[in-house]
Structure 1
Amino acid sequence: MAELHAFSSPLEDPHRVELVELISASQFIAIGNRINMLHEKLFGEANQEILERIESIESGKINATYWNKECGRQMLCFNGSEFSKKQTLKICNDFLNIPDCYASKNNHNYIKLASKEIIFGRLNKETWEVWADNIHQDTELSDNDYKELALALSMMETHTNDYYSWIHDVLNEIIPVKRPNPDTLVSGSIRYRYGAVEIAFPSNRFEITEMLIHECSHQYFNLAFSLGDMVIKGAPEVYSPLKDKERPLFFLLTGYHAFANVLIAYDSLKRAGFNEEIKDRNTKALNYVLELEEGILANKEYLTDLGLSIFTPLYEAVNRINEDEYV
């Protein structure tokens, strides 16, 4: 499983891009087939558009990244749940259609990330409420929000280039959501909508950097999860500082993966001279990482090889950072 370290952090496998392309293509094909089975059950026939896209990816006519950029590639999985025909048709249409692109009064419809155009999308609440624990509120992207986002990407390219490439390979859509209050960051992503992340505004460049790395880490985690289980069935629930309650070990690993990557990026920013600007957020990320780490280490025997391929490289990287702090 050594090659899967590529999904642990950008410091690992140089073949990450090829792995992302391979797994995201197979993920699309698998989920597309499952949606088609449901479509056929409800409407008596397969959806020809989905079949054509699957055939195009399998034959190499288009790749999954191209399809993702052009059509949004909402990754939806029904898990045997029963939906009305109206809901199912809506979800199938969302799966196929180009996202509802952001129509800003300031004409901020996309932002450049190296060679890519990252579009600004809107929440499709009818679809997202099926999958999400909570739905955030849409917001307008102001000129200053756009400026801070551009500064965040520029700062990452200059000072955390590994993470600039890390987000480049999986990010396709940013959905601006309203920040609930000045002391609280909110961000989000849905496992089956690959490439789309919610980012809270207004936020400064350092907060935006944290949210992008956090949510894009979830994108990698979800790709790896599509390959198999990360936790052995029957693993006990463990206390999570993120929710202040006991949760399945899988969710502790999810949180650890995201916050540990944030912590590694913050270490690069500290070395670049931004220690004061990120001091509070870095401390919060470190505390989360150490608390989550404690719960995972106490239950490490329940991690599969895939789970260990995610946890171990990050655990070692975080410990190197902590050792350097006291040298």
Structure 2
Amino acid sequence: MIELDEIDQKAVSGLNGFLVRKDLVRTFSRQFPVPTYVVEFLLGRYCASTDQEEIEEGLEIVQRQLKSRTVKAGEEELFKARAKERGTVKIIDLITARLDARRDSYVATLPSLGLKDVRINSELVTKHERMLTGGFYAEISLSYDAAIAQESSGRPFGVESLREIQLSKRDVLDDLASARKNFTREEWTEFLLRSIGIEAKDLDERQKNALLLRMVPFVERNFNMVELGPRGTGKSHLFQQVSPYAHLISGGKATVARMFVHMGTGQRGLVCQYDVVCFDEVSGISFDQKDGVNIL
């Protein structure tokens, strides 16, 4: 049992149903190969309570789902075999998609299973455009068709359905604004820092403000920021682990089409699909056209 301090108590009274215990998040995130926000999504669904019995019941469900739906290294063939034997299997994975112009169809990629040619219908791709621009984590129902497997160049695996892992309520900002009235400015600052796993009690005012500044791109339009620091100090952690609405680009080439818009198809790029786009180790990234830097 953990003791709730005054900030916790105010959060419980104003934001019941939205809270996640960070000690539980740390426990699960070390066990399974998924970002922190995936674990928080499940904990928020099943453990958004202060009642210990409800939390214990929810933890069993979360543990069971993460254990049965996340693919650890070396388990790829096991999950494929389950799909073959059962017809379908549910996984939590980062799904991306691309257009196969030769067959006039879309195919999905599921990296945890090493699958690059998974069938997916165009309606799902149109509904979830982000899978064309870097992808997103989702709960995926993956099917296996033995008849298609017998065909030449057949694609036996297919995405039956998926559910994005993201906020499920669109009016959450109204609830946050209402709860904010119960906090002082200092308390709200500490509460926001706790939301990304940082305990602010031992930090001075300048340190707190510096950490808050890192989160400004999530809420402020067209806010550009550069972070300087040695490798391995957590610069990219916030943008990779905390929110499904951020996308991290690590090294390599960036194209104008992928970043902004594909002039041939009209497909929107990363900047249009995500709230935050972060370049990790920006010195190693180059654009295919000079226009890319100019547009930024």
Write 1 or 2 for the structure with the bigger share of strand.
Answer: 2
TM-score scaled by structure 2? 0.29
Provide the TM-score with structure 1 as the length reference: 0.27
| Structure possessing the higher relative contact order (Cα contacts under 8 Å, 6 or more residues apart) | 1
Indicate the structure (1 or 2) with the bigger Cα radius of gyration.
2
